[in-house]
Amino acid sequence: MVTLTAPETHAPAAAAQEGATENAAVDLADSPVRNLNQALHDATDGQSWTVTNPGGKHSLAVGIDAHVSVSINGHAGYYAAGMHQKGEVTITGNAGVGLAENIMSGKVHVHGDASQSAAATGHGGLVVIDGNAGARCGISMKGVDIVVGGNIGHMSAFMAQAGRLVVCGDAGDALGDSIYEARIYVKGNVASLGADCIEKQMESEHLDELGALLAAAGRAENPADFKRYGSARNLYHFSVHNSTSY
């Protein structure tokens, strides 16, 4: 498997100490999103931003590639924190379609709900959604960890290749359809499983990793209350006998 990301590096301690006090305030009611994103692209490790009046605008805090911290106070529109690396984005509100799409590393935390396709195609990092996520959460995930406090919609983790998806509420129809090696943990009910996705035994390693993910997301659920789902590995290679299952 080829990974396109550089190995995760931690912020240099010196930079973190020197720059930690710098906090820029951006009011999107009178400042364009493009300026915010340009400043984030020019940022150095340790800087932080507080963004007010996001008003559901699209593409907030996309393309971060430094150990910075961004707090968005309000609801974000489409593609918030897309293509995210290294830094931390917190949204105190809801997020629109395509939250943290293609996230590579770092953390994105939404205190409200997220619309469809949250963390789609994510390669790494952690996406935490305290509320519900819409349809297609973690579609084609490739290594990202996702923790959802509420429910997720239909077709979530479709073609999920790697990473972990944790759902503290219920999952919609066709969970994990055509899943590869991602692991799914659901506490509540699953409306239906997709093709080639099955319930699997919870071993101690799974309880441990689930416990660590819940802790990283700041949640108090008991890992023993969850069920694990993953690939039956029947559809990996084309077989004419499976033609009706694809």
Partner 1 sequence: MCGIAALQLRNPSLHPEMGSLLSSMMCQIVDRGPDSAGLAVYDTPGLVSKGTSTVSLLGKDQGLPVDDIAASLESLLSSSAAPAVRVVGDTTLVSAAVGTDLLVKAVSETLPDSTIIGRGEHVAVMKSVGHPMDIAAEHGLEAMSGRQGLSHTRMATESAVTAGGSHPFSVADDLCLVHNGSFSNHATIRRELKREGVVFDSDNDTEVGARYIASRLQQGDDLETALTNLGKVFDGFYTLVVTTADSMAVVRDPIACKPAIIAETDDYVAMASEYRALAALPGIETARIFEPEPGKVYTWSL
Quick one: which segment of 50-58, 120-128, 200-208, 232-240 binds partner 1 (CB under 8 A)?
Answer: 50-58
Candidates 101, 113, 177, 196: give the one binding partner 1 (CB under 8 A): 113
6: exposed, middle or buried (C-beta count within 10 Å: 0-12, 13-18, 19+)? Answer: exposed
Candidates 19, 56, 188, 211: give the one binding partner 1 (CB under 8 A): 56
Provide, rounded to whole angstroms, the least separation between the CB of residue 127 and partner 1: 18
Provide, rounded to whole angstroms, the least separation between the CB of residue 26 and partner 1: 17
Nearest residue (CB) to partner 1, 1 versus 29: 29
Q: Does 154 bind partner 1 (CB under 8 A)?
A: yes
The distance from CA 182 to its chain's CA centroid, rounded to whole angstroms, is: 13
Q: Does 153 bind partner 1 (CB under 8 A)?
A: yes
Q: Does 96 bind partner 1 (CB under 8 A)?
A: yes
Nearest residue (CB) to partner 1, 59 versus 102: 59
One-letter identity of residue 240: V
Give long-range contacts, CB 8 A cutoff, 24+ apart: 172-176: 172/135, 175/229, 176/229, 176/230, 176/231
Nearest residue (CB) to partner 1, 126 versus 193: 193
Nearest residue (CB) to partner 1, 63 versus 93: 93
Count of positions on this chain that bind partner 1 (CB under 8 A):
17
Q: Does 164 bind partner 1 (CB under 8 A)?
A: no
- Tokens standing for residue 159: 């073609």
Provide, rounded to whole angstroms, the least separation between the CB of residue 160 and partner 1: 19
Give long-range contacts, CB 8 A cutoff, 24+ apart: 163-166: 163/122, 163/124, 163/138, 164/209, 164/210, 164/213, 165/137, 165/138, 165/141, 166/210, 166/213, 166/214, 166/217, 166/226
Provide, rounded to whole angstroms, the least separation between the CB of residue 134 and partner 1: 6
Nearest residue (CB) to partner 1, 12 versus 55: 55
152: exposed, middle or buried (C-beta count within 10 Å: 0-12, 13-18, 19+)? Answer: buried
Give the 3-state secondary structure of residue 98. coil
Nearest residue (CB) to partner 1, 66 versus 174: 174
Binding region for partner 1 (CB under 8 A)? 55-58, 75, 77-78, 94, 96-97, 113, 115-116, 134-135, 153-154
